[in-house]
Structure 1
């Protein structure tokens, strides 16, 4: 029997917004559990299978060829955090990977990542998450958060097994392997530790907009969790994190053209977040924390990327204790018509700026001397004329190296470690 294209029936639903009337004939398809919706989708699938039957063998050949070109047993480059090197690896025949770590070997260069063998496991490896075990028995699986405390003792991880982007978070003691009693339901992506006693996370509204930030105290009933921030404006999404220095917690609210940042000292997690610069329509800014001794206003500084003085952004700085207007910051990188600044990363001894000029993504490094004077940004140089470089995977505040991604039209994507003191790429 030849199937005909299924035609979805019309079931008008009328809505009124701002004095205007809208008719949606297909609102009923939103109900994924409706027998009528399921029947229509099954009919569409059957019709598609009929129409593509002639290329079924070709489809299988293409799939087999694509799979043959994928290295199924593989691993990521280890990334240092605290006293551990963290990495992910996959095994042939397994649908999901493993999150692993091995201790830093202080007998060798503690900033040179270890070589992880393709076969077998390196000495001292600890599998902190087996995603295949977590996914077992579920038709869908997604990892939403994987966050380890600075000490390396506790792991907060969240999973979604329905595809609705609503995650369940659990906490594992990595020293004993035991799961804590804490279970947080229906949360959004991500989780941010404040020490080992507090965890910050987000929830979403009915439109799947992350609109609230919550604080959970480890060992307490999640029903007692505190909403520390609620974004009422539907144009804005929220996010929560911490500075690389681990001195401040940060909540960011952002729309397409405007942003606002709130901060709270990490050692006062039950305190109240304070706004740095109130939102101003059309003005976006982001901050990072630096420590520069010998400057007026104290060593703690905000390094601010903002577009208050021009659409391509500029970088300024000020004391964390005394905020001038955004347009009154001490300029570190001025606004320029030919350069688009994409952000900065601050470390204990240097600042890395990412920007785009001449359609090329570039990086520059400024060292932070001990005498209280800012230096100058020195652009990193590469041999090829056309390329893209970026900074990524650099969680450690006191790292003497930065991890850099690099690629071009003739060079496949690769990672380098750049030594600040010597200027050597490895």
Structure 2
């Protein structure tokens, strides 16, 4: 009853304001507070004969450890104080939202166990605890429980704590794991003896956080990062008990546009090193039984060729875009692995994107995408094949954790805008599925109370843009409903229609939520991505604007009630559409936005810059510079009216540095002509992903939802 009663009270309160569009509500009256005004310190950028004044360049000094570091922090704190003042009247509402969203979460819970090498591994959470415990049981789920890591205990005293990269040695006796206490994705690798409980002194700093064990149980490989640029630069080999300073470099990446990593094959026979850019990649490999061996190239990198390797008994499967825009499936013998020896198994298909594969001893399972939706394709060793069936018009399905090579069971996930996250085990021989777990939403959630649909907007060039929508049943399509439109649209990352319990707090207050699958993602195939990057990047922005205009035209909402949300590269999207179509949105939320594109891409000391050239272009080349400058949000702030805006960042962000959103907000304040609200929230303790605890992030969501509700006049 302790969990149910508060939820019933909240649902009762929500029902009273279930459809705010049925009565006109007035936006919140904002306090008459004075916004911070950032100091102007002229700085000129001169390149390609073009001189640009950057009055807020000094804000980089905290990152660069320059003379104005203290001034930067003081400015960010002043912006936080201003936000607190402006949002003060929503404090109680934010608190209620937090309790409401937290109240839907089952606090004491367990993940579905995964079998690997004779042990079942899982995580469990406990009432009131922010983190989790990593556990296992030997041989059977009825066996005694071993708590391998108590992350709740480990995280005590830390504002941020991330433990990841869990990797068990082949003899099941040692656990390698990575820890990040700052949120800059610089992990320290630790080794724990699972028989004695001892944490070894083999602490290796400044890594990606994961290891690949050799089969001798004493050697592992890991990825070392550049401490300044945070680029993954070297693969090193470590022997237990040795000083990390003596670790041997087994691979040194010379191309600073590539990301590198190291991992072990599912059948435990090989260690692979991957080096990958946006357009080209390469694998190296050794026998996991012989860690002393030199790595050999699987197939040499070739311009604009991407491939992935799936080792099975007697051969390798390869997924590749070599002469195949949407990728095809190939195979090759174990001793002749260069692409000249690849034999086609499944050809390129114009209407199907081959995304990835999961190998088993007797099966190969492919993740494919058709018409924007993911499909799971099973190939048997006898040459037959079939697809799993999914019934909803818009959904998200994916291959889950399947570490056991000899298994005949496929673990996969399924969710939709109305279906909570679900984990299934699928018998690959009998072709039947078993629901292992569905996310429990406390408080009486019923999917039948909500409607999900899929529509298509038409872009400026006639391209059809998929939009997935969800809203409370009974919506009046009269243009009065508030609508939040979300998108990402970069790196070929596809945004699927997944369930979110925090989102219910918007839907229950009459909001419509929509996802636009704009170009720059890969939902509609590889060409969809290529048409939204480099010199075609503006398609991403115009697609999103077309989606917003369509939703207004179809009376899902109106300009006075339309809101946009995106983060990181999706924050670039927010900045661009704010400049290009400022009158279309009543409000915009830009989380950790990549908005100072030209300046960041010109500075190779900024983390990840060189890795991004294939995505955005290199502005040291004039054509790329001119195009980038024409859309970069910071460059294109103009003297005109802008929507209400909430911008967030993290002081320790390693992906998009804090100074990008800070400079953007400062320039907007000094330039825009409207009296709309502009707020900047800097998390002084965290980085790109926000808070690490499983409840703390809801405070950020509460702020976002309260901002939107304030603009709609929704007070509870």
TM-score range, shorter chain: 0.7 to 0.9
**Residues of 2 paired with 1:249 and 1:22: CA distance?**
49
1:314 aligns with 2:345: no
Contact 1:212/1:227 (CA < 8 Å) preserved in 2? yes
1:266 to 276, 288, 291: 288
Give the equivalent residue in structure 2 for 1:223: 245
- Counting only pairs closer than 5 Å after superposition, residues 51-66 of structure 1 correspond to structure 2 as 51-66=86-101
Contact 2:225/2:234 (CA < 8 Å) preserved in 1? yes
1:381 aligns with 2:389: yes
2:221 to 200, 211, 217: 200
Write out per-residue CA displacement over residues 302-323 of structure 1, whole angstroms, 9 at most, x where no aligned residue: 1000011221000010102013
**Residues of 2 paired with 1:55 and 1:410: CA distance?**
28
Normalising by structure 1, we get a TM-score of 0.87
Judged with a 3 Å threshold, the aligned counterparts in structure 2 of structure 1 residues 183 and 23 are, in CA distance, closer, same or farther, namely: farther
Give the drift of 1:186: 1.7
More strand as a share of residues: 1
- Counting only pairs closer than 5 Å after superposition, residues 83-232 of structure 1 correspond to structure 2 as 83-105=118-140, 114=141, 124-195=144-215, 196-205=217-226, 206-232=228-254
Give the equivalent residue in structure 1 for 2:480: none
Write out per-residue CA displacement over residues 67-119 of structure 1, whole angstroms, 9 at most, x where no aligned residue: 111111111111111111111111111111111111122xxxxxxxx4xxxxx
**Residues of 2 paired with 1:18 and 1:136: CA distance?**
52
**Residues of 1 paired with 2:204 and 2:117: CA distance?**
26
Q: Which consecutive residues of structure 2, in runs of 5 or more, have no partner in the other structure?
A: 1-30, 435-716
1:243 aligns with 2:265: yes
- Alignment partner of 1:189: what SS? strand
Contact 1:85/1:101 (CA < 8 Å) preserved in 2? yes
Which stretch has the larger CA shift, 243-252 or 349-358? Answer: 349-358
**Residues of 1 paired with 2:342 and 2:430: CA distance?**
31
Superposed CA RMSD: 2.3
Contact 2:189/2:210 (CA < 8 Å) preserved in 1? no
Judged with a 3 Å threshold, the aligned counterparts in structure 2 of structure 1 residues 48 and 381 are, in CA distance, closer, same or farther, namely: closer
Give the equivalent residue in structure 2 for 1:364: 377
- Alignment partner of 1:159: what SS? strand
Q: How many residues align?
A: 397
Judged with a 3 Å threshold, the aligned counterparts in structure 2 of structure 1 residues 215 and 339 are, in CA distance, closer, same or farther, namely: same
Q: Which has the higher contact order (CA 8 A, sep 6+)?
A: 2
Give the equivalent residue in structure 2 for 1:111: none
Judged with a 3 Å threshold, the aligned counterparts in structure 2 of structure 1 residues 343 and 60 are, in CA distance, closer, same or farther, namely: same
Give the drift of 1:53: 1.3
Give the equivalent residue in structure 1 for 2:84: 49
Give the equivalent residue in structure 2 for 1:420: 428
Write out per-residue CA displacement over residues 368-406 of structure 1, whole angstroms, 9 at most, x where no aligned residue: 25xxxxx13322234556544321100011112110112
Give the equivalent residue in structure 2 for 1:276: 298
1:304 aligns with 2:318: yes
More helix as a share of residues: 2
Which stretch has the larger CA shift, 355-364 or 20-29? Answer: 20-29
- Alignment partner of 1:191: what SS? strand
Normalising by structure 2, we get a TM-score of 0.53
**Residues of 2 paired with 1:390 and 1:265: CA distance?**
30
- Alignment partner of 2:433: what SS? coil
Contact 1:14/1:21 (CA < 8 Å) preserved in 2? yes
